[in-house]
Amino acid sequence: MATSKSAVIDHTQRDPWSIAQEQFGIAADRLHLDPNMRAILAECQRELTVHFPVRMADGAVKVFTGYRIQHNTTRGPGKGGIRYHPSVTLNEVKALAMWMTWKCAVVGIPYGGAKGGVVCDPKMMSQQQLETLTRRYTTEIALLIGPERDIPAPDVNTNAQTMAWIMDTYSMHQGYTALAVVTGKPLSIGGSEGRNEATARGAVYTIIEAAKHLGMDLEGARVVVQGFGNAGSFSAKLMHELGGKVLAVSDTSGGIFNPKGFDPNKVDAYKRETGSVVGFPGTERVTNAELIELDCDILIPAAIENQIGEHNAPRIKAKIVAEAANGPTSPEADRILFDKDVFLIPDILCNAGGVTVSYFEWVQDLQNLFWREATINARLKEVMVKSFNDVLDMSKKHKVDMRTAAYMVAVHRVAEATLTRGIYP
Ligand code: NAD
């Protein structure tokens, strides 16, 4: 595929569904959530497993397994990406769907949480096979998806082209063009301005708010970013634009470090030319593990899950950890960082800029009225700043860390919506 996201759950670590349950449980305890409500929100509302045939290049037929899960659609249609990876499991997709419910609730956008995945190795498949697989998978999950029902988006190893195929397949079944069935589409078929940078831009808005809260000056603040893909490279560039000093960045080949800082735009150009950030002139090499522990003010994990655990959390030196990635910190590390007074901006808040601009894309598609990038960025800022302060207020009120506070805000909103709607019949 043209772009691929290498972030995957590390299965040598804990089962993601048990982590999702534990995080939900902590917030539910703090909120003294009614046991009936707790039972409702702890489960996924719909779990669709599909097995479907695809004819491969050699003429043989291979049967693939895929999932589409809707954790909760009380606040609106399901929203969440589709992941193509050999290690996709039902429990991983369930956890990701639950996290989407909380993410959409914490930023107050009118969606529930959903997620999809296909067990496959896209790196071993041709474009033609990927298109066939995508079109058949779309047909299988058409039971659940739709502009008013459940709106997929790109995730690991899927991209704007995949979304174009899904939109086209769904539209062929309907007999008319349904732009709003997916987000993260190319601009030429109803995609949104600003979607590419949205996750990083949203993360940086939360960092600005965190710095205000801590009385930290971002001018000259030392920034370390793990991962130099979509979320990481734009985060580094935006922090540089704000006057931050980017000391280190990394990718799968390793990291680069210069205590005096460097221009991430030049690193980006270097990576485009050479395929990696490693070897960028004027920097020394560090491993990804060393990078996490570098002396800095702001650490932005923007690569994969499970990067900060019990083993390295005691040695984190950053004052702010901004989780542009999903799930980079374990629940055990959360407790260590909180005790060390590290200010953590949790993933469901920090990287919610992506889904927020996806929401803007859906709104534009439904209205057939498209906004300028400046309008999108201004609206994104409004959402991120308000959400950050809602979470901060909750954390102050209940004297809890920012992750627990974000979960409390989100769970409270979904519980309130459920209570207001009532239990059918
Ligand atoms: P991406 O594929 O564009 O970039 C990932 C980067 O991480 C690449 O530079 C890759 O080389 C690097 N990387 C992979 N494995 C690594 C490792 N073991 N150590 C260090 N670096 C490694 O992906 P992305 O879209 O930027 O996503 C990154 C994270 O952000 C993921 O956790 C993703 O779920 C999360 N996220 C992304 C978006 C979005 O809109 N792109 C939205 C919300 C959350």
Nearest C-alpha to atom 17 of ligand 1 is from which residue? 252
Give the three-state DSSP class for 107: coil
Catalytic residue chosen out of the listed positions 5, 103, 115, 271: 115
For 319, 344, 401, the CA distances from 333, given in Å and listed in that order, are 15, 11, 12
If asked whether residues 219 and 326 sit together in one domain, one would say yes
For residue 152, whether the previous peptide bond is cis, meaning omega lies within 30 degrees of 0, is: no
Q: Does residue 79 belong to any structural domain of this protein?
A: yes
User: pLDDT band at 12, cuts 50/70/90?
Assistant: very low
**Best probe residue, ligand 1, of 3, 252, 280, 287 (max atoms within 8 Å of C-beta):** 252
Residue owning the nearest CA to atom 4 of ligand 1: 229
One domain, residues 229 and 257 = yes
d(CA 103, CA 80): 10
- 5 CA from centroid of ligand 1 (Å): 6
> Per residue in 69-92, pLDDT tens?
999 999 999 999 999 999 999 999
pLDDT one-digit tens code per residue, 304-362: 888 999 999 999 999 999 999 998 999 899 999 999 999 999 999 999 999 999 999 99
* Ligand 1 atom showing the smallest separation from residue 199 Cα: 40
Q: Is residue 423 included in any domain, yes or no? A: no
Site residues for ligand 1, CB cut-off 6 Å: 5-7, 199, 226-232, 250-252, 288, 302-304, 324-326, 351, 354
Higher pLDDT, 386 or 12: 386
Residue 228 pLDDT > 60, yes or no? yes
Give me 95's structure tokens.
């956890």
Percent of the chain with pLDDT over 90: 93
Whether 235 maps to a domain, the answer reads: yes
Does residue 252 lie within any of the structural domains? yes
Structure-token pair, residue 182: 């997916």
Question: Where would I find the beta strands (DSSP E) of 9-157?
Answer: 46-55, 61-72, 78-85, 112-119, 150-154
Ligand 1 geometric centre to CA of 198 (Å): 14
Mutate which of 82, 251, 287 for ligand 1? The one with the most ligand atoms within 8 Å of its CB, which is 251
My answer on whether 96 and 50 are in the same domain is yes
26 occurs within a structural domain: no
The pLDDT-based confidence of 371 (bands split at 50, 70, 90) is: very high
Interval between CA 9 and ligand 1 midpoint (Å): 12
What's the sign of the alpha-carbon dihedral 216, 222, 226, 231? positive
170 is a domain residue: yes
- Determine the residue of 1, 3, 6, 96 to mutate for testing ligand 1's pocket, defined as the one with the most ligand atoms within 8 A of the Cβ atom: 6
Say which residue, 3 or 198, is predicted with more confidence: 198
Which atom number of ligand 1 is nearest to the Cα of residue 347? 44
Using alpha carbons, select from 290, 335, 330, 322 the residue that is nearest to residue 204: 322
* pLDDT above 80 (res 7): no
Q: Which amino acid is at 221?
A: A
Give the tens place of pLDDT for each residue, 106-161: 999 999 999 999 999 998 999 999 999 999 999 999 999 999 999 999 998 999 99
Give residue 14's pLDDT: 78
My answer on whether 215 and 110 are in the same domain is no
What is the DSSP secondary structure assignment for residue 35, as one 8-state letter? Answer: H
Q: Give pLDDT, residue 57.
A: 83
Give the domain extent around 306.
Answer: 198-350
> Given this model, what pLDDT does residue 72 score?
98
Asked whether residue 259 carries a pLDDT value surpassing 50, the answer given is yes
Same domain, 83 and 65: yes
Ligand 1 geometric centre to CA of 354 (Å): 13
Distance 253 CA to ligand 1 centre (A): 13
CA atoms of 387 and 389, how far apart (whole Å): 5
- Closest residue CA from atom 32 of ligand 1: 325
Do 148 and 184 belong together in one domain?
A: yes
Identify whether 115 is a catalytic site residue: yes
What value does the mean pLDDT of the chain take? 95
Residue nearest to ligand 1 atom 25, measured at CA: 230
From residue 42, how far is each of 18, 152, 194 by CA, in Å? 11, 22, 34
pLDDT at 15: 87
pTM of the model: 0.95
CATH classification of the domain holding 342 = 3.40.50.720
pLDDT band for 58, please (50, 70, 90 cuts): confident
Is the pLDDT at 5 greater than 80, yes or no?
Answer: no
Q: Which of 2, 8, 45 has the alpha carbon at shortest distance from 325?
A: 8
> What average pLDDT does the segment 268-276 reach?
97
Nearest-CA residue for atom 31 of ligand 1:
325
Q: Whose CA is nearest to atom 33 of ligand 1?
A: 325
Q: How far is the CA of 325 from the centre of ligand 1 (A)?
A: 6
**65 and 144 belong to one structural domain:** yes
The answer on 108 and 213 residing in a single domain is: no
Rounded distance from Cα 40 to ligand 1 centre (Å): 32
What confidence score (pLDDT) does residue 6 get?
A: 38
Residue that is last in its domain, among 143, 169, 189: 189
Q: Is residue 154 part of a domain?
A: yes
- Counting ligand 1 atoms within 8 A of each CB, the residue from 83, 230, 348 with the most, and so the one to mutate, is 230
Count CB atoms within 10 A of the CB of residue 112.
Answer: 24
In the chain, the number of structural domains is: 2
Q: What is the CATH number of the domain that holds 71?
A: 3.40.50.10860
**ω into residue 328 within 30 of 0, thus cis?**
no
Per-residue pLDDT for 3 more than 80?
A: no
